[in-house]
Amino acid sequence: MIENPDNKDRVRVIAEAGVNHNGDFDRAVEMIHAAKLAGADYVKFQTAVPELVISSIAPKAEYQKETTGEGESQLDMCRKIHLRLEDYAPLKKLCDEAGIGFLSTPFDLVSIDCLDALGMDYWKIPSGEITNLPYLRKIGEKGERVILSTGMSELHEIDAALRVLEQAGTPRSNVMLLHCNTQYPTPMEDVNLRSMEALSTLGAGSIGYSDHTVGIEVPVAAVALGAKVIEKHFTLDKSLPGPDHKASLEPAELAAMVRAIRNIECALGNREKHVSPSERPNIEVARKSIVAARHISKGEVFSTENITVKRPGNGISPMMWDEVLGKTAQSDFYADELITLE
C-alpha cells in the first residue's frame, strides 16, 4: 500500500494483529480481511526469530503468566505464537490485494532484513527496543519513515533514541512518536494521555497513541487530543489461548473504534469559528428581532413601552435596540409585527 499524500492529515488506524494468529498462517490471513472490513488503514504483525530476541532464562511478564500460565518460559511461549520469516512476503502480497497496508514490527536484526525487502510504508519500533542502539541504528540507516512506541520510557530515553535515529540518517521529522503503556490491559489511572503534550516537545514529525486499555474510549479520546496514529490490538476471538487476546478487540469492536475515530476526526474541524451550513437556517428560527409590544400608531416614538424582542430573527436585530429607541414610527404596527424604520 502506497499512501496518498493528499490524505496526510488523516488519522492512521493500525489494527495490531501482533501474534494473535498464534502462529497459524491461515488465521493471519483471516485477520487481514477482518482488519480491512473494520476500516483500518493498516494491519500489523510482529516478526521475530525468538532465539535472537529472548534468552532461555528470560521470565514472562506478569500479564503473560496470567494469560498463558507459568509452566513454560517466555522463549517457549514465543516459539509457539510466531510465524516463520518466509510467511511475511505472502502476507504482504495478500494485504496489497485486499487494499490494506501491511506493517510488521521487527524484534531483531535478522527480522529487519527480512522485512526490508517488502517495502513497508513505515518501520515500527516497539517500546522494548527504544534502548537498543544497534537495532535503532540499523533502522535509522535506512532513512525511511518510522513509528516509535514509547512505553516504559522516560522523556530523555526517547530523545536519546531519536538522536540515534538522526545520527544514522533518519531525521526527526520522519518519526511518529506513539505514547504507550505496555501493561496489558493498561489501568485507566496509568494511561496519561496528556503526556502526548510532552512528546510533542521532542521535534518528531507527529504524535500518536498505541493503546492497551480495555474498550475503545481511550484511543478515541487520544484522537480528540491530537493523535495522528492509533494502534490497537485485535483478535478474531478473545477466548483463544495466548498472551494478548484478552486485552484485544474483536472485529466488531475494532470496526466500532474506527467509526468513532472517523467521527471525531471529522468533528474536530478547524480552528476557525463560523456559522456552519447546517445551522445557518436556524438563525431565523432561534434568534429574535425587534417587534411591536402592542399596537403602535404612525408617528409614535419607539420606547421601551411599545417595542420588545421576540422570534423570528429575520427583522431588525436586538443589537440595534439603542438605535431604534427614540425613532418615529413611519407606519402603524400591530402587536408582534416586525419593526421597520422605513
Same domain, 125 and 68: yes
pTM value is: 0.89
Q: What confidence tier does 5 reach under pLDDT thresholds 50, 70, 90?
A: very low
Assigned domain for 2 exists: no
Look over the chain and give the mean of its residue pLDDT values, rounded to a whole number: 94
Sign for the pseudo-dihedral over CA of 152, 157, 162, 166: negative
Q: What is the CATH number of the domain that holds 301?
A: 3.90.1210.10
The pLDDT, as a whole number, for residue 67 is: 72
The pLDDT, as a whole number, for residue 2 is: 42
Assigned domain for 322 exists: yes
Same domain, 243 and 321: no
The pLDDT, as a whole number, for residue 1 is: 42
Same domain, 168 and 294: no
The pLDDT, as a whole number, for residue 54 is: 87
Say whether pLDDT at 6 is over 50.
Answer: no
Assigned domain for 119 exists: yes
Same domain, 132 and 150: yes
Nearest to 55 by CA among 28, 32, 73: 73
User: What are the pLDDT digits (tens) for 308-317?
Assistant: 999 999 999 9
Domain boundary among 236, 268, 300: 268
The pLDDT, as a whole number, for residue 80 is: 87
What number is the average pLDDT over the span 48-75?
Answer: 80
Pairing status of strand 175-180 against strand 229-233? unpaired
Q: What is the extent of the structural domain holding 180?
A: 9-268
Say whether pLDDT at 134 is over 60.
Answer: yes
Domain count, the chain: 2
Distance, in Å, from the CA atom of 88 to the CA atom of 293, rounded to the nearest integer, reads 78
Say whether pLDDT at 8 is over 70.
Answer: no
Domain boundary among 268, 295, 317: 268
What number is the average pLDDT over the span 312-331?
Answer: 98
Neighbours of 137 (CB within 10 A): 15
Same domain, 251 and 284: no
Domain boundary among 229, 250, 268: 268
Assigned domain for 28 exists: yes
Assigned domain for 1 exists: no
SS3 label, residue 149: strand
User: What are the pLDDT digits (tens) for 236-278?
Assistant: 999 999 888 988 999 999 999 999 999 999 999 999 999 999 9
Alpha carbon 183 to chain centroid, angstroms: 19
Same domain, 288 and 245: no
